[in-house]
Amino acid sequence: MKRLLCMITLLPFGFFGSCNSRDQQQDNSKAAVTEPQKISASQAKALMDEGKPYTLLDVRTVEEFNGGRIKGAMLIPVDELSSRAEKELPDKNATILVYCRSGARSARAAQILADLGFTAIYDFGGLMGWPYEIVNE
C-alpha cells in the first residue's frame, strides 16, 4: 500500500524510480555468494607457478598431512574448517587452492569457504590425482 501511494504521488512528477531506491540499496548491499571453482591439478600447478599470492589449503587429517603433502600447504582439517577459517584465513578475497586425498573433502571444504564468504576458491581434488612433487617434512 505504501508503495502504491508513493507511485500515485510521485508519478506526475517523474519520480517513479524514487519509490524503489531504498529496496534496491538493500538488495545491492547483500554480498554475492561466489561458488568454488573445480580445477585440474595442472591448472592448480599453473596458478601456483604464476608468482601471484595464494594459500594452499590441505583439508585432510593431521596424520595424512604428516605422511606427505604439497610443499607450502597449510593444514586445516575439513571438520575444523568452519571454526578456524575466518581466524586463520583473514582475507576473504585471497586465492585459496584446496585439496584433500581424493577430492570429496576438498569439495566439501570449498563449499564451506564459499558459505563463509570467501570469493576465490579453487578445488583441485586430491593428492591421488596430483602428478607433481609431494614432500614429507
Question: Which positions are annotated as active-site residues?
Answer: 100
Beta carbons within 8 Å of 128's beta carbon, 6+ residues apart: 101, 102, 103
Cell numbers found for residue 37 = 571453482
Q: How many CA atoms lie within 13 A of 26 on its CB side?
A: 4
Cα dihedral sign for 122, 123, 124, 128? Answer: positive
DSSP letter (8 states) at residue 43:
H
Please report, for residues 7, 15, 60, 111, 120, the alpha-carbon distance to residue 129 in angstroms, rounded to integers and kept in the order given.
60, 59, 15, 20, 22
